[in-house]
């Protein structure tokens, strides 16, 4: 993404678009004539699910990063406690 502040909103918009277009994909898969195997219902639904999972993940991680703030870093690991 070019603008980091817009990442969660872009993911949210793409997720909404995928959900809104799902009925059109189902309609084409069920009524289309002489479709290739990748245009049948099961492969189309699987791919749509993969894309939806990716956009939801980007959205969740983007909003979580915004909540932590721009300077948040993970806590340092105390290596003295890890030594035997």
Per-residue pLDDT tens for 12-51? 999 999 999 999 989 988 888 888 887 788 998 999 999 9
Task: Tell me the torsion sign for CA atoms 75, 77, 78, 81.
Answer: positive
* Res 11: pLDDT: 93
- Spell out the alpha helix ranges (H) of the chain: 7-31, 41-68, 79-82
Could you tell me the end-to-end alpha-carbon distance of the chain, in angstroms, rounded to an integer?
Answer: 44
The confidence score (pLDDT) of residue 40 equals 86
Which residues, 6 or more positions from 28, have their beta carbon under 8 angstroms from its beta carbon? Answer: 35, 39, 44
Q: Mean pLDDT over all residues of the chain? A: 84
In this prediction the pTM is 0.71
């Amino acid at each position: 993404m070019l603008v980091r502040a817009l990442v969660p909103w872009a993911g949210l918009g793409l997720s909404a678009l995928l959900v809104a277009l799902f009925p059109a994909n189902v309609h084409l898969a069920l009524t289309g004539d002489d479709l290739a195997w990748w245009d049948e219902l099961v492969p189309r639904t699987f791919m749509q699910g993969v894309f939806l999972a990716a956009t939801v993940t980007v959205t969740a991680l983007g909003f979580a990063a915004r909540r932590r703030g721009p300077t948040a870093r993970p806590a340092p690991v105390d290596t003295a406690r890890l030594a035997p």
